[in-house]
Chain A
Amino acid sequence: MKSTLKMIGAGTAASVLALSAAHADDPVSLTIVSWGGAYTASQVRAYHEPWMEMNPHVTIINDDGSANALASLRAQAQAGNVTWDLVDMLPSDAQLACEEGIIMPIDHDEMLAAAPDGTPPSEDFLPGSLGECFIPQILYSTVLTYRPGAFPDDAQPSSIADLFDVENFPGRRALQDRPGTNLEWALYADGVDPDDIYDVLSTPEGVDRAFAKLDTIKDHIIFWTEGAQAPQLLADGEVAFATGYNGRMFDAIEVEGMEAEIIWDGQVVEWDGWVVPADGPNLEAVMDYLYFATDTQRLADQAQFISYGPARASSSELVGQHADLGIDMAPHMPSAPENYFAPIVLDNDFWVDYGDELRERFANWMLQ
Chain B
Amino acid sequence: MAQADATMMGGAGASSGTEKLVTAEGVPLKRALERAQRRRKLMAFALVVPLLAFILTVFVFPIAQMMWLSVKNDQIVNAIPRTLEELRDWDGRELPDEAVFAALHADLMEDLERPRREQATGPMGIRLNYELSAARSAVSRTARAASGFEAPYKEAFIDAHRLWGDPELWRIIKREGRPLTASYYVAALDRQYDEDGRIVQRDENRRIYVSLFGRTLMLSVIITGMTFLLGFPIAFYMSILPMRHANLLMICVLLPFWTSLLVRTSAWIVLLQQQGVINTGLVTLGIIDDENRLSMIYNMTGTIIAMTHILLPFMVLPLYSVMRTIPPSYMRAAKSLGATPWTAFRRVYFPQTLPGIGAGGVLVFIISIGYYITPALVGGQSGRMISNEIARHIQQSLNWGLAAALGTMLLVGVLALYWLYNRLVGADSLKLG
Contacts and interface: CB of A to CB of B under 8 A. Distances in A.
9 contacts: A70-B396, A71-B394, A71-B395, A71-B396, A101-B116, A172-B274, A353-B129, A353-B133, A365-B205
A352 B133 CA distance: 9
Given A357-B206, A360-B208, A70 B395 contact: yes
B210 to A, nearest CB: 11
User: Most chain-A Cβ atoms within 10 A of its Cβ — which of B133, B377, B384?
Assistant: B133
A55 B22 CA distance: 78
B119 A223 contact: no
B137 A352 contact: yes
Interface of A: 67-68, 70-71, 74, 96, 98-101, 105, 172, 177, 202, 211, 221-223, 225-226, 229, 236-238, 278-279, 349, 352-357, 359-361, 363-367
A352 B298 contact: no
B148 to A, nearest CB: 18
A96 B122 CA distance: 8
Contacts of B394: 71
Contacts of A367: 208, 211-212, 215, 381-382, 384
Given A98-B122, A100-B123, A278-B117, 4 more contacts: A352-B129, A353-B137, A359-B397, A364-B207
Contacts of B381: 177, 221, 223, 366-367
A238 B137 contact: no
Nearest to B212: A367
A74 B397 CA distance: 12
B389 A352 contact: no
Nearest to B125: A99
Contact of A356 (B117, B130, B212, B400): B130
A164 to B, nearest CB: 18
A225 B117 contact: no
A165 to B, nearest CB: 20
Nearest to A208: B205
Interface residues of B, number: 43
Q: Tell which of A99, A100, A225, A226 has the most Cβ of chain B within 10 Å.
A: A99
A82 to B, nearest CB: 11
Given A226-B377, A237-B275, A354 B206 contact: no
A359 B395 CA distance: 14
Contact of B208 (A70, A222, A278, A364): A364
A357 B133 contact: yes
A177 B376 CA distance: 10
Interface in B90-121: 116-119
Contacts of B205: 211, 361, 364-365
B122 A349 contact: no
A223 B122 CA distance: 34
Contacts of A353: 129, 133-137
Interface in B119-149: 119, 122-123, 125-126, 129-130, 133-137, 140
Contacts of B396: 70-71
Interface in B262-278: 273-276
B140 A99 contact: yes
Contacts of B207: 364
Contacts of A229: 377
A359 B276 CA distance: 32
B137 A349 contact: yes
Contacts of B118: 101
A349 B129 CA distance: 12
B398 interface: yes
A101 B117 contact: yes
A2 to B, nearest CB: 36
B380 A363 contact: no
Interface string B262-301: 0000000000011110000000000000000000001000
Contacts of A236: 273, 275-276
A70 B274 CA distance: 36
B399 interface: yes
A207 B116 CA distance: 36
Contacts of A172: 274
A225 to B, nearest CB: 5
Contact of A105 (B116, B133, B399): B116
A57 to B, nearest CB: 29
Nearest to B119: A101
A96 B275 CA distance: 42
A229 B297 CA distance: 14
Nearest to B143: A99
Contact of B273 (A70, A223, A238): A238
